Structure 1
Amino acid sequence: MSNNNREQGIDYGQLNEKLEQLDYPISAETLIDEYGEYGIDHQNGTKTLQEVFDPLTESDGQTFDSADQVRQMILNMIGSDAVGRKGYSDRGSEHVDDEEKSL
């Protein structure tokens, strides 16, 4: 997995390069037809672009104007599936009482 293909816990793999080479605007349907089998890795496994975008096929003419818009939609559609341990925070567990708040 290349770090250049990873964003917010999602690894776009070879799809990332393909997205950069496309002519935009492009429809969700065309993306699914041409790249639906491409895998998108996340914390809890892998989904194909078709699995992620399948709900978009029910909408009327979803189009994208850039690779960034496609990646953002992937992030939106995968949602909580990409989250590792839910409720986990690496920020510590220090509790601050209301009386201790700084002014």
Structure 2
Amino acid sequence: MTDQVASHAVMSRLGVDRASKHQGETPWMKHAFVKPQDDRLLGLPEVKDKVGLGRSAIYERIRENTFPAPGADKGRSLWSLREITAWQQWRLAQRGGAYGKS
């Protein structure tokens, strides 16, 4: 099962429809280390706390296809913990952080 399919399966199981999807494989999902069965959904306040970005910066990066897009449930944006964690590791790898060293 691909990372995107696994993440989509978690969100589908919880009754969340993807508001938008990235085309193809996202570059950060190869850094995912949260197991699909441990995935959970995060609201915007928790995402902002985890990544240290404000609402505008998050949505700007989503438009640029450089941040995981949320799913939507009854008008509420929800993100996959697995995707957010993978994005953080991808960002570290981009700048040669601890998780980016081979």
Instruction: Give TM-score scaled by structure 1 length.
Output: 0.28
Structure with more contact order per residue of length (Cα contacts < 8 Å, sep ≥ 6): 2
Which is helix-richer, 1 or 2?
2
